[in-house]
């Protein structure tokens, strides 16, 4: 059982009633954060509808201190739609970039996420925009942990393949493989920044790197 009441994955009718009562009693400037974190717990438990509803409520918050919570909620919503509704995911990611250009309160990887959605579209304009987004991410200079850079290079490979740039494909594949070999970013946190790649991805990268 989670120590914090707002981290419980329970979303039964009783749990919903309890959560609402606790939120109502909480300080106004904490409510958006509680709803956002509760949404993450629900999402991890597969209760995506409930999670999305809570994140949408975060966006409706009128509290001045909820700005970073709103930015994070937009990112969560975009991520939640990436697989089943890419167009909606794209809309949330674009809204995040437009309304919160500093990306404070987020993972600072929305350019990569949006690029991945655009790459799936496959048309020239989308691929070119995806490339610009990857460049924008690097210019921002944040979240450059090995696992994030690995994801960035996978997106770059797909763009280079679409453009017929074999040299970039090979170079990016080699860099991606080197990132797999890196250890934890922080000695006391063994999983932070570590690349987790499946066998198929690694096999493909090795082939492209030749």
For the chain, give every domain's residue range.
Answer: 1-106, 108-210
The pair of three-digit structure tokens given for residue 49, joined into one six-digit string: 């509808």
**Confidence at 65, pLDDT banded by 50, 70, 90:** confident
pLDDT at position 187: 75
- HSE-up (13 A, CA, CB side) for residue 199: 0
Q: What is the mean pLDDT of the chain?
A: 94
Does the domain formed by 1-106 have CATH 3.90.70? no
CB distance 36 to 54 below 8 Å = yes
Query: Which of 200, 210, 134, 209 has the alpha carbon at shortest distance from 173?
Result: 209
Mean pLDDT of the region 27-53: 97
For residues 167 and 34, give the distance between their C-alpha atoms in angstroms, rounded to a whole number: 47
Is the model more confident about 52 or about 141?
52
Q: Could you read off the pLDDT of 154-201 as tens digits, one per residue?
A: 999 999 999 999 999 999 999 999 999 987 778 777 788 899 999 999
pLDDT at position 2: 64
Q: Give, in order, the Cα–Cα distances in Å from 138 to each of 10, 30, 61, 80, 143.
A: 39, 33, 32, 24, 9
pLDDT at position 189: 76
Question: How buried is residue 18: exposed, middle or buried, by Cβ count under 10 Å (0-12/13-18/19+)?
Answer: middle
Q: Could you read off the pLDDT of 201-210 as tens digits, one per residue?
A: 999 999 999 9
Mean pLDDT of the region 111-122: 98
Q: For a pLDDT cut of 90, what percent of the chain falls above it?
A: 87
For residues 195 and 65, give the distance between their C-alpha atoms in angstroms, rounded to a whole number: 34
């Amino acid at each position: 059982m989670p120590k914090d009441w707002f981290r419980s994955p329970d979303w039964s009718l009783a749990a919903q009633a309890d959560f609402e009562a606790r939120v109502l009693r909480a300080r106004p400037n904490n409510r958006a954060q509680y709803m956002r974190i509760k949404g993450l717990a629900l999402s991890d438990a597969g209760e995506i509808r409930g999670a999305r509803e809570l994140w949408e409520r975060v966006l409706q918050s009128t509290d001045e201190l909820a700005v970073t919570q709103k930015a994070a909620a937009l990112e969560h919503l975009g991520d939640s739609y990436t697989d089943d509704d890419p167009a909606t995911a794209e809309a949330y990611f674009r809204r995040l970039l437009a309304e919160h250009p500093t990306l404070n309160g987020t993972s600072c990887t929305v350019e990569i996420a949006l690029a991945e959605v655009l790459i799936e579209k496959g048309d020239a304009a989308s691929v070119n925009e995806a490339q610009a987004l990857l460049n924008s991410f690097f210019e921002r200079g944040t979240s450059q942990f090995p696992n994030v850079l690995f994801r960035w290079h996978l997106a770059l490979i797909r763009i280079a393949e679409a453009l017929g740039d074999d040299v970039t494909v090979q170079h990016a594949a080699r860099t991606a493989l080197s990132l797999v070999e890196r250890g934890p970013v922080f000695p006391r946190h063994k999983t932070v920044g570590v690349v987790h790649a499946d066998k198929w991805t690694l096999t493909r990268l090795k082939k492209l790197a030749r």
